Structure 1
Amino acid sequence: MDEISILRETFGPDPEPSPAAEQRALKALRGRMTPRTRAPWRLRVPVGVGVAMAAAVVAAVAISNADGGTRVTPPISEQRPDHTQAVATVPHLRPVNAAQVLENAAWTVEQEKWTDPAPTDFMYVETQEMRNPPAYEQKAPNGALLPGKAKYRKVQSWNRIDGQVQASMRNGKLDVRRQGQDDTYFAFVPWSQIVKLTTPEAIASYLERPEGGVMAVPDALAGQYALPPEVKAAIFRYLARQPGMKVNPDAVNLDGHPAIGLGRVTEGYLSQELLFDKQTYTLIGERLIAVEDQRGAGDGRKGDLYRQVIYRKAAIVDRPGETG
């Protein structure tokens, strides 16, 4: 049972629960890679226009069952957030800046349940990435997404907790690779490093001295890894302290979901944005969008969209091919 269901079951239909009911609800909620030594790897999502955009969205979260297993909440397109239940207790009922939005997001993720994975378990992450038609993408790999022609592509990946096995879907088939297989090495932030990132200060220290020589920027960690709630909350609070974080006043609609765009401007005209659900403050997507006309060479115009990703699932599973 998820937290909102717990609240509904405990409070009942009364929109103004009694103090005793509130205490029952609170009690119910509470009951719940190592690459070779070289210059540090920096994991980022590749994007066009010379910008590496590492962003994150989690549209579903791993929830532990009573029997010790895991389940995954529905993808964002299937969720129907209850505004009165989800927002009534966030720190900032009407956030006025990026820091307050991020604190709400941190509070939200701290309500999730979590079971520590075994070294042989896998992180499963599923995204929908908007891409131009292949022929156009070959001609203009750094070009803006074409309105009406760019389509979402499903991306699935599995990474073993010990960093030794990676899998993905290629042409409809599961492709599983091991570190060193066919001289292939893939970067993966060690789990022993991840579990230490429970405060903004710990994240800042990690960025200066990454364990194992592998570093993922905080935005990428939140989106490309299934993280313990306290780690994801610390990432949001770290981002809240960074200069230049602003709320994009323009309306954002992600897969039919109203969202808050929150990001930083780079290259003078591009905004790297995380997208949060407007009601629950769950991180649901990311995008790279022009907020000004491009100056000098190029033909970028305000409103051009260069990247858009929806995170559909993030879960811990037993083996490649499983999706929670």
Structure 2
Amino acid sequence: MMDEISILRETFGPDPEPSAAAEQRARTALRGRMAPRARASWRLRVPIAAGVAVAATVVAAVAIGNAGGGTRVTPPVPPQRPNHTQAAGLPYLRPVDAAQVLENAAWTVEQETWTDPAPTQFMYVETQEMRNPPAYEQKAPNGALLPGRARYRKVQTWNRIDGQVQASMRDGRLDVRRQGQDGAYFAFVPWSQIVKLTTPEAIAAYVEHPEGGVMAAPDALAGQYVLPPEVKAAVFRYLARQPGMKVNPDAVNLDGHPAIGLGRVVEGYLSQELLFDRQTYTLIGDRLIAVDDERGTGDGRKGDLYRQVIYRRMAIVDRPGQTG
């Protein structure tokens, strides 16, 4: 179990005066810990003392704002919404921009069936996260994934709907924790907040003023929380309105599966992307990849991959250990 100091030490490394390049990658990594790694998300069961919790939330909010989610830039006017009744299939057969891809993704989600969960049920999320060899990762926690050496690791988490219980698989054993157990607290976006996020406007308000002070970036919500279809569709439509949202023109091969990369550039050279199936526009993963050389130090090169995650399964289940 990690504490806050361990996370910061892993993020920033042992050097008391890190280079500018290390600081840039550390800020991105910290964003991953606090907001996307709600992408590895609040998957990290971080024990947070009462005073630290407030500071952690502020860091998350600032990081998300820098990434574009919380900025007050006037967004471009979204394209006219298509008439879904005019065709049995996707709204855009050949989407030409990020907004059209995201509208296809929203439409796809809206076709899903859904039953509201009970407070005692769990959100089960199973992913495959690409990681460097442990020895190398220990020395370079913020380094790019090593071609031919990085391997996928299976990650399984269970979060109870009421936010009071969290479980994960550790060394092949189910580890179940409760809020406050052994002084540990884990951040969790309240379900009462989640169910209100049914429009892009509601999501924009949540980004500015999260209920209870706990926030995960909207794209992190889509990837690491089991959301009602109308909420997930609203997330995609919110992202479609954000400035700088683009389709990565480079081909994406996600574990042998062709995908569309869609996201924004952060830190000037890193593209933070959601990955969608090319045929169905289902959300299937996320990645962080350098789309330009890192200026100043040359440590980061175009094409370097820093994060890649495949979403394997998301379901509402009755208890930890159950997978569907």
Distance 2:255 2:284 in 1: 10
Aligned-partner SS, 2:100: helix
Distance 2:140 2:101 in 1: 35
Q: Structure 2 vs 1, CA of residues 109 and 260 (structure 1 numbering), >3 Å: closer, same or farther? A: same
Confirm or deny: 8 A CA contact 2:272 2:288 kept in the other structure: yes
Alignment of 1:118-133 (within 5 A): 118-133=118-133
Q: Give structure 2 stretches of 5+ with no counterpart.
A: 1-11, 13-23, 40-86
Asked if 1:156 corresponds to 2:156, the answer is yes
Q: Which residue of 1 aligns with 2:102?
A: 102
Shift of 1:55: 7.7
After TM superposition, the score normalised by the length of structure 2 is: 0.75
Asked if 1:140 corresponds to 2:117, the answer is no
Aligned letter for 1:300?
Answer: G
**Cα displacement string for residues 7-35 of structure 1 (whole angstroms, at most 9, x for unaligned residues):** xxxxxxxxxxxxxxxxxxxxxxxxxxxxx
Asked if 1:91 corresponds to 2:91, the answer is yes
Which residue of 2, 19, 27 corresponds with 1:50?
27
Q: Which residue of 2 aligns with 1:253?
A: 253
Confirm or deny: 8 A CA contact 2:263 2:274 kept in the other structure: yes
Alignment of 1:1-324 (within 5 A): 48-51=25-28, 52-53=31-32, 54=36, 89-324=89-324
Distance 2:165 2:301 in 1: 42
Aligned letter for 1:97?
Answer: D
**Cα displacement string for residues 70-116 of structure 1 (whole angstroms, at most 9, x for unaligned residues):** xxxxxxxxxxxxxxxxx961111100000000000000000000010
Confirm or deny: 8 A CA contact 2:289 2:306 kept in the other structure: yes
Confirm or deny: 8 A CA contact 1:48 1:141 kept in the other structure: no
Distance 2:123 2:198 in 1: 19
Distance 2:209 2:201 in 1: 12
Distance 2:275 2:231 in 1: 19
Distance 2:259 2:112 in 1: 20
Confirm or deny: 8 A CA contact 1:56 1:274 kept in the other structure: no
Aligned letter for 2:177?
Answer: R
Distance 2:149 2:278 in 1: 27
Aligned-partner SS, 1:50: helix
Confirm or deny: 8 A CA contact 1:56 1:222 kept in the other structure: no
Aligned-partner SS, 1:123: strand
Aligned letter for 2:27?
Answer: G
Confirm or deny: 8 A CA contact 1:48 1:306 kept in the other structure: no
Shift of 1:297: 2.3
Confirm or deny: 8 A CA contact 1:145 1:305 kept in the other structure: yes
Confirm or deny: 8 A CA contact 1:56 1:283 kept in the other structure: no
Distance 2:179 2:274 in 1: 31
Aligned-partner SS, 2:251: strand
**Cα displacement string for residues 135-166 of structure 1 (whole angstroms, at most 9, x for unaligned residues):** 00011111100000000000000000000000
Distance 2:288 2:38 in 1: 12
Distance 1:207 1:265 in 2: 19
Confirm or deny: 8 A CA contact 2:38 2:216 kept in the other structure: no
Confirm or deny: 8 A CA contact 2:120 2:162 kept in the other structure: yes
More displaced 10-residue stretch of structure 1: 268-277 or 291-300: 291-300
Aligned-partner SS, 2:108: helix
Shift of 1:56: 9.0
Which protein has the larger Cα radius of gyration, Structure 1 or Structure 2?
1
Shift of 1:298: 4.7
Shift of 1:50: 2.6
Confirm or deny: 8 A CA contact 2:275 2:283 kept in the other structure: yes
Aligned residues: 251
Distance 1:276 1:247 in 2: 11
Q: Give structure 1 stretches of 5+ with no counterpart.
A: 1-45, 58-86
**Cα displacement string for residues 13-67 of structure 1 (whole angstroms, at most 9, x for unaligned residues):** xxxxxxxxxxxxxxxxxxxxxxxxxxxxxxxxx995431242899xxxxxxxxxx
